A and B are shown apart, each in its own frame.
Chain A
Amino acid sequence: MRRSVKVAFMVLLLLLPLAFWGAERARAQNPTLYWGSTGWHVMRVQQRLAQWGYYDGPIDGVFGYQTWKAVRYFQWKNGLAVDGVVGPATWAALGFPSYTPTPAVSRGYATDRDAVLLLARLIMGEAADEPFEGKVAVGAVVLNRMRHPGFPKTIPGVIFQPGAFESVSNGQIWRPLSPEAVRAAELALAGWDPTGGALYFWNPAKAVSPWVWTRTIITRIGNHVFAR
C-alpha cells in the first residue's frame, strides 16, 4: 500500500508538467466519469479526493471500487446526488467548474476621460476668466495643433510641449477644475471650433513677442487673439 502510493506519487511528479500543459484544454470539457472510466481525468479526481481526505487508494487513473466509494462519500458530504458518477455538479464541487464558452476577447478598457480632463486643465490654466466661447476656443487650438504636422501628435504632447503654453510653464494648469472647463473640453473634443482653425493664441494686453504679429490673425474672442 505505502509502496504503491509512493510509486503513484512519483508518476504524478513526472506527469505534473503534462497536467499543467493540459489543464487549459482539459477545462474545456470535463467528461462525465463513472465506474470503469480510465484516463487522466480520473486521476485528477482521485488526486483531488486524496488531497481532501476522501480517498486513500492509488492514484492510478482507473475508476474502480475505491474511487467509486470515495466519490459517493464526497457527494454525500457535499449534499450532491449520491450516485457515484462524476457529472458537472460533482466536477464543480471538486473545484473544476465546467468550461462555459466565454469569448477569448474581453471588452477593451479604452476611454477618452484622460483626454477630457487634461484638456480641461489647460483650459483652466489659459482661459479661466474668459467667456465660455473663449474656453472652447483654447481647447480647439490644442486639437488643431494635434492635427497639424508641425506639432506633437497627442493631446499631452501638445499641452506639455516646452514653451507652448504659459500656464504649463508656471504651473497654473494644476489649479482645481471648474465644471465649465470640463464642459468646454468636451465640446472641443466633440469638434466645436470657434477659432476657425487657429494654431496660436495670445493676449495682446500682455507684452508678447513681436513674432506673433507675423501670423495670420483669424479672430478675437474675449481677451485672446487667435491666429494661424
Chain B
Amino acid sequence: MRGYRLALLLLGLVMVAVAAWGTKEHQGRRYLELELNNRYQQTFYDLLTHVQNVEVLLGKCLVAGGRQQAVGLLSSVWQQAMMAQADLSSLPVSPQYTERTAKFLSQVADYANTLCRQAGTGSPLTEENWETLRRLYQQASSLNRELHRVEAEILARGPNFWELGRRLKARQARTAEAPASPFRALNRETQNYPTLVYDGPFSDHLEKQKPEGLTGPPVDRGRAEARARELVEPKPTRVRVTGEVKGRIPAYRVEADTAAGKVVALLTRQGGHLLLLLAERHPGKPRLKVEEARGRAEGYLRDKLGLKNMRLSYSVQKGALAIFNFIPEEGGVALYPDMVKVTVALDDGRVVGVDSYSYLMFHRPRSLPQPRLTAAEARGLLNPRLKVENQRLALIPTDGGKEKLCYEFKARLGEDIYLIYLDAERGEEEKILKLVPTTGGELAL
C-alpha cells in the first residue's frame, strides 16, 4: 500500500516536471515563432513600401521636365527597386514563385540606372525611353495592386509567415501547393510582362546571345572523344562521351580516365572546341613556382588549343593551383571579352582546368575602330591624384553586352592599384576597377 502511494507520488512529480518542461519549451517555441513572424512581416511591409515608392517615382519621372530632376528621380527608382527586390527574395516564398517578379524589379532598377547614366553623359531622355518608363509605371502599379491584395489575404488569415516558412522547407520533399498561394497569383500576373531590351546587364537581349567564336563543322561523339584524348593530360587510358550539356554553347561531356584520376572535358558540338576542362584530383604539395607553371599554361594554349597571341592578364595562386587569365592581343589592342582561363597544378605542372567559354562566345574577326584620342590626351583626362604606371589600348565588354575600345591605365593611389578605362573616342571614364589584393594574386600589365 505504501509502495503504491509512493509510486503515485513519484509519478505525479514526474508529470509536474514534464508539464513544466513542456510549458517552457512551448513558450520558447512561441517566442521564436513570433520573432520570426515579425521579421517576415517587416520584410513584407518593406516590400509594399518600396514597390509603392517605385510606382510613384516612375510616375514622377513621366512628368519631370528638367534633366537634373529626372536624374534624381531615376536614381531613387533604382534604389527603391533594388530594395524591393532584396525584400522579395528574403520572404519565405519559394524562388520559383518570386523569380518573375524579382526579375521585373531588377529590370526596373537596372533600366533606371542605365537612364541615369545616360542622362549623366548629357543625352536627354528619348521618346522611346519615355514610352518604356510609361509601360514600367503601369506594370509597377499593377504589381502594387497585387501586393496589396496579398496583404489583405495574409491579414485575413492571420500572421502566418512562420507557417509559410515551415511548409516551404517541407515542400522540397513533397509538393509545391498551398503555402505560397497568394504569391503564386502574383507570379502568374508577372508572366505577362513584355521583354525589356536596353543597355544594361539585365536586359532581355543578353539571354538570347549566340556564341560567335564557334568555327568548323559539327562533330560527332567519336570525334569529340578523339579530341579529348589529345587534350587531356596525362594521356588518358579511356575516354567516353557520358552526356551532353545543352547550354548556350551546346557541348559533349567527355570523361577521361588517366593515371592521375578522372578528368572531365566539355567539347563543343560545333567544331569540337574545348569549352571546359576539369580534373578531379586534389593536387599535392606545390613544387613548381607560379612563373614555371605559367610557361606550361602558355604551352598548352599554343600547342594543344592552337591559340596564338595570347597574353597573360592576371594570375593567382590558390593553394596548390595556379589560375591564369589569358587574353588575345590584336594590333596592340588587348581583347578582354575573349578571355581564356587555365589552371595548372603546382605539384606536377599539368594543366588541370581550362575555361574558354568567353573566348568561344565572343571571339571573332573584328574591325576595331581607330582611337580618336591619343594616349597622352587620354592620360590628361585622368584624376590628377593618380600615379599612372602603365597604359595600353584595350577592348572591354560593357554591361549591355557591347564592346568598347578604351585606353587602359594601371594607376596607383597610395598603396591601392586601380585599372581605369577611358573611352578612346570620347574620353569618358567607362570603368574603374580596383585591384583587391589577394595572396598570390599578380596582375600582368
Give the B-binding residues of A (Cβ under 8 A): 103-108, 110-112, 131-133, 136, 147-153, 157, 161-164, 166, 169-170, 179-180, 183, 186-187, 190-198, 206-211, 216-220
Contacts of A136 in B (CB 8 A): 278
Contacts of B316 in A (CB 8 A): 190
Contacts of B426 in A (CB 8 A): none
Residue B389, interface by CB 8 Å: no
- The CA of A149 and the CA of B81, in the complex, are separated in Å by 12
Inter-subunit contact A105/B90 (CB<8 Å): no
Inter-subunit contact B176/A209 (CB<8 Å): yes
Inter-subunit contact A194/B264 (CB<8 Å): yes
Residue B280, interface by CB 8 Å: yes
Inter-subunit contact B89/A163 (CB<8 Å): no
For residues 388 through 445 of chain B, which have their beta carbon under 8 Å from a beta carbon of chain A?
A: 413-416, 434, 436-438
> Which 9 interchain pairs have the tightest Cβ spacing?
A196-B247, A149-B106, A103-B414, A150-B99, A105-B414, A150-B103, A107-B415, A149-B202, A163-B168
Query: Known: A112-B436, A150-B106. Contact between A207 and B173, CB under 8 A?
Result: yes
- The CA of A131 and the CA of B242, in the complex, are separated in Å by 14
Inter-subunit contact B90/A161 (CB<8 Å): yes
- The CA of A50 and the CA of B354, in the complex, are separated in Å by 71
Inter-subunit contact A164/B95 (CB<8 Å): yes
- The CA of A190 and the CA of B174, in the complex, are separated in Å by 35
Inter-subunit contact B323/A190 (CB<8 Å): yes
Contacts of B201 in A (CB 8 A): 147
Contacts of A190 in B (CB 8 A): 316, 323, 341, 343, 355
Inter-subunit contact A153/B85 (CB<8 Å): yes
Inter-subunit contact A191/B355 (CB<8 Å): yes
Inter-subunit contact B357/A112 (CB<8 Å): no
Residue B19, interface by CB 8 Å: no
Q: What 0/1 readout, one digit per residue, does chain B (136-177) give for beta carbons within 8 Å of chain A? A: 000000000000000000000000000001001101111110
Query: Known: A107-B415, A183-B319, A190-B341. Contact between A151 and B276, CB under 8 A?
Result: no
Query: Known: A105-B416, A133-B280, A163-B168. Contact between A112 and B438, CB under 8 A?
Result: yes
Contacts of A153 in B (CB 8 A): 82, 85-86, 106
Inter-subunit contact B244/A219 (CB<8 Å): yes
Inter-subunit contact B434/A108 (CB<8 Å): yes
Contacts of B168 in A (CB 8 A): 162-163, 169
Inter-subunit contact B247/A218 (CB<8 Å): yes
- The CA of A43 and the CA of B177, in the complex, are separated in Å by 81
Inter-subunit contact B246/A157 (CB<8 Å): no
Residue B282, interface by CB 8 Å: yes
Residue B92, interface by CB 8 Å: yes
- The CA of A190 and the CA of B276, in the complex, are separated in Å by 13
Residue B110, interface by CB 8 Å: yes
Inter-subunit contact B169/A131 (CB<8 Å): no
Identity of the chain A residue whose Cβ is nearest the Cβ of B173 in the assembled complex: A207
Q: Of A111, A150, A187, which one neighbours B343 at CB under 8 angstroms?
A: A187
Q: What 0/1 readout, one digit per residue, does chain B (233-245) give for beta carbons within 8 Å of chain A? A: 0000000000111
- The CA of A126 and the CA of B10, in the complex, are separated in Å by 48
Inter-subunit contact B436/A110 (CB<8 Å): yes
Chain B residues with a Cβ closer than 8 Å to the other chain, count:
66
- The CA of A152 and the CA of B90, in the complex, are separated in Å by 9
Residue B251, interface by CB 8 Å: yes
Contacts of B92 in A (CB 8 A): 162-163
Residue B248, interface by CB 8 Å: yes
Inter-subunit contact A151/B95 (CB<8 Å): yes
Tell me the smallest distance from the CB of A174 to a CB of chain B, in Å: 16
Q: A190-B343, A216-B246 are in contact. List 7 more A-B contacts (CB 8 A).
A: A105-B416, A111-B438, A148-B103, A149-B110, A150-B106, A162-B92, A190-B316
Q: Of A133, A183, A216, A220, which one neighbours B282 at CB under 8 angstroms?
A: A183
Contacts of A207 in B (CB 8 A): 173-174
Inter-subunit contact B174/A211 (CB<8 Å): no
Contacts of B357 in A (CB 8 A): 191, 193
- The CA of A193 and the CA of B316, in the complex, are separated in Å by 19
Inter-subunit contact A163/B436 (CB<8 Å): no
Inter-subunit contact B169/A218 (CB<8 Å): no
- The CA of A207 and the CA of B253, in the complex, are separated in Å by 26
- The CA of A161 and the CA of B93, in the complex, are separated in Å by 9
- The CA of A38 and the CA of B86, in the complex, are separated in Å by 63
Identity of the chain B residue whose Cβ is nearest the Cβ of A106 in the assembled complex: B414
- The CA of A29 and the CA of B171, in the complex, are separated in Å by 70
- The CA of A119 and the CA of B82, in the complex, are separated in Å by 23
Most buried by B among A107, A180, A186, A192: A192
Query: Known: A107-B437, A110-B434, A218-B247. Contact between A163 and B413, CB under 8 A?
Result: no
Inter-subunit contact B413/A105 (CB<8 Å): yes
Contacts of A108 in B (CB 8 A): 416, 434, 436
Contacts of B82 in A (CB 8 A): 153
Residue B350, interface by CB 8 Å: no
- The CA of A95 and the CA of B369, in the complex, are separated in Å by 60
Contacts of B249 in A (CB 8 A): 196
Contacts of A183 in B (CB 8 A): 282, 318-319, 321
Contacts of A195 in B (CB 8 A): 245, 247
Inter-subunit contact B102/A219 (CB<8 Å): no
Tell me the smallest distance from the CB of A107 to a CB of chain B, in Å: 4
Query: Known: A103-B415, A107-B415, A193-B357. Contact between A219 and B247, CB under 8 A?
Result: yes
Residue B328, interface by CB 8 Å: no
Inter-subunit contact A103/B413 (CB<8 Å): yes
